[in-house]
Structure 1
Amino acid sequence: MTAATITVDGGYAARLARRGESWFPERWTLDSPEPYAVPLAGRQPEEPGTEVLPMGDGRVLVHRPSAGRHLFALLYPSGPATGEIPLGAVECAGDLTLLPPSPDGERAYAVAVGAHTTDVWLVAGGSFGPEHVAEVPGRCSGGVWLDRTGRMLALDREADGRVKTVTVDLARGGEVSPLLQITEESDDRLLLADADSGLLLIRSNAPGHDRLGWGVLGSALPVRFPESLRLADCAVTPFAIQPGQTLLPERCAVALRIDGAAGTWLGLWRPAVRGMRQLPAPQGWLAGTGRWTRDGVLLLPYSTSAVPCGVARLPVPTGETPPRTPRAEPSEPPPARPVPLQQAPLGGRVAAG
């Protein structure tokens, strides 16, 4: 079951689906009374490495790598067929990957990683073809939006043998500023951010080995690494933060994908609560895909033979307290150095413009 990508407003999703041996883009409409999927198969099947990204107007961006060239097009339903608008190509020798959907739903970006620098490209929504918008020193990965305008982008930059998260201001020609540095020797990566509350989900080896932690954008308080986010012999990956909790990061619900020997299931957690609630995933879940509504309902897309396009709704009451773990949790010493989020140009809240 392939994963899907959801627009920030939750209206659409897109994934690369498979029928027999053939791959094709598929658009899901999620904001209708009943979700439905539309296949966007072209004249020939897609390669397994093709990337797809939903746009806010219902079109789907497709990225087709081809021998050092990266071709982009917008797909849309056109009667029984699929319409296609070519957007041009980017030529680069290294890897090029799409970033998560822009918060405004109108633009799409990609990063191309070179030997010593990383280029940021606007590949959809510009005035003409792909446009080079920033060059970031170092090799970058990840990609998290920090605001709701699509201006401030966070990237995990590898330089001098360490990984630190930086911000890239796309309105200032790609101006780069430090965002996350827990210790000088640690590898610190930003996984998720919520623009309303400022809540950040972080993965770092500052405690001695890779741990999940949380901090607040613009805060001088140290990152905390709760024991409840640490499960033995399991990989825990956050994929959605509840929006709408303005300036209340501790109240945000966070959804996590848990992978272990028994399969894949869900975790629900809040910074203000010391335990994590674990639940089975719905059958056919597009694992790692989902979004929270502002009133605390987790929407999980799934696909089965009986329901090819469905969305499971998992309400979580605001005041819910997940059960404690069986043993008492030890006190958590702060990291050696706080997150220098105050050094970023955001100042705790992002100004539009």
Structure 2
Amino acid sequence: MTVRVNDGATVGMTISADGAYAARLAGGGEALFPERWTLDGPEPYAVPLPLHQPEEADTELLPLADGRVLVHRRAGERQMFSLLYPTGPGTGELPLGGIESPAAGPVRLLPPAPDGRRAYALVPGGSSTAIWLVAGGAFGPEPVAEVPGRCSGGVWLDRTGQLLGLDRQSDGGPTKAVAVDLARAGEVSPLLQIAEDSDDRLLVAAPDSGLLVVRSNAPGEDRIGWGVLGGSRPVRFPDCLRLPDRTVTPFAVQPGQVLLPESCAVAFRVDGSEGSRLGVWRPSGRQLHQRPAPEGWFPGAGRWSDAGALHVPYANGAVPCGVAVFDAPADPSPTPPPPPPPTRPAACRPVPLQQAPLGGVRLAG
């Protein structure tokens, strides 16, 4: 995700797994540099992390829970990784090593691992996709799994960083979300098979409640739907999330709603001709509440607090480092019967949309 803010720089923002830090490329033109934001204090503040030369516009940043910022730079077919940290008036850099990658597709960082210490990257190959541990290991970047097919996306399905949801395409067929068990050398299990020939992608997941938000063309067109990990009901596609003149993309799910998926608030980026707006929706509420985003919002960046408030970072000419806080709209929230206790991951027979549960994988206990 990239967005242009008032200073003209092309920037994106990533928030750490615990919400304590964020990182973005600041500056403008050919003078880009990493900037770390601290979000867990009384007021947010930014620390610039410039080095001896500017960063390229495609440099990726990922903040870790200890305050260091992982930097991914591309140099031809070689991918280089370093950790940056403030050292008084300067910037310290710890090189981690690199990866030689063929020109089969772009190497990109996955979302921050739930433990806040590790970082992973997807490395496409000719007929498979490798998952590399690029930070948090003992000996620098190392491959941890090889998944047949071309993979994209990336959503963590548990709080341990063991189960990873990916969107996989094999042999030119439809794209299907699968679960990859990193503790079992990349064992792959079916996750979404709404219809046999539909493209079924996983967008976000809430490990506490089991809520999944997906995108699928099984209804005849691309639609946003939701289901419950390991649940017994089919995926539902709410009409309120179907906006013909706008694109809706979920980016954050309320944590802490243990076994209450229908009560989980989901934050959406709503893109239209007038720009980007914020949207909030709950399965139980059946309404997408929209509101203007703060000027200079990094669209798609934000997090929910444990208390149920949405925090979204922004920067503009008047506020160089700001966080706007929005309370989730009040919706009727009937308490559904709790789903069965979670179990170990297990594959199941793919099923049609009209007959059976979302699933193939349950959360690890």
Give the TM-score range, shorter chain: over 0.9
Alignment correspondent of 2:110: 99
Alignment correspondent of 1:265: 277
2:31 matches 1:19? no
Alignment correspondent of 1:7: 16
Q: Could you tell me which of 311, 316, 324 is aligned with 1:299?
A: 311
Preserved contact between residue 229 and residue 358 of structure 2 (Cα < 8 Å): no
The structural deviation recorded for 1:39 is 0.9
Superposition pairs of residues 1-353 of structure 1, within 5 angstroms: 1=5, 2-93=11-102, 94=104, 95-160=106-171, 161-316=173-328, 319-320=330-331, 335-341=353-359, 343-344=360-361, 346=362, 349-351=363-365
* Paired letter, 2:127: H
CA distance in 1, matches of 2:355, 2:14: 35
Output one character per residue of 1:222-264: Cα deviation in whole Å (capped at 9) or x when no partner: 0000000011210100001100100000000111000001111
Preserved contact between residue 183 and residue 337 of structure 1 (Cα < 8 Å): no
The structural deviation recorded for 1:321 is 5.1
Preserved contact between residue 98 and residue 141 of structure 2 (Cα < 8 Å): yes
CA distance in 1, matches of 2:111, 2:356: 28
Alignment correspondent of 1:326: none
* Paired letter, 1:152: L
TM-score (norm 1): 0.92
Q: Secondary structure at 2:107's aligned position in 1?
A: strand
Q: Secondary structure at 1:100's aligned position in 2?
A: coil
The structural deviation recorded for 1:3 is 2.5
Preserved contact between residue 180 and residue 339 of structure 1 (Cα < 8 Å): no
Assess, with a 3 A threshold, how the Cα gap between structure 1 residues 204 and 339 changes in structure 2: closer, same or farther.
Answer: farther
Output one character per residue of 1:307-331: Cα deviation in whole Å (capped at 9) or x when no partner: 11110010125x4359xxxxxxxxx
Preserved contact between residue 284 and residue 332 of structure 2 (Cα < 8 Å): no
Structure 1 gaps of 5+ residues are: 323-333
CA distance in 2, matches of 1:163, 1:141: 9
TM-score (norm 2): 0.89
Preserved contact between residue 181 and residue 339 of structure 1 (Cα < 8 Å): no
The structural deviation recorded for 1:296 is 1.2
CA distance in 2, matches of 1:281, 1:304: 12
Tell me the number of residue pairs that the alignment of Structure 1 and Structure 2 aligns: 335
CA distance in 2, matches of 1:36, 1:181: 44
CA distance in 2, matches of 1:19, 1:79: 24
The structural deviation recorded for 1:340 is 4.6
Output one character per residue of 1:135-179: Cα deviation in whole Å (capped at 9) or x when no partner: 000000000000111111111000132100111111111111111
CA distance in 2, matches of 1:243, 1:340: 21
Preserved contact between residue 199 and residue 214 of structure 1 (Cα < 8 Å): yes
Q: Secondary structure at 1:31's aligned position in 2?
A: coil
Structure 2 gaps of 5+ residues are: 6-10, 334-351
CA distance in 2, matches of 1:83, 1:154: 34
The structural deviation recorded for 1:131 is 0.7
* Paired letter, 2:44: P
Alignment correspondent of 1:331: none
Q: Percent identity?
A: 62
Preserved contact between residue 228 and residue 358 of structure 2 (Cα < 8 Å): no
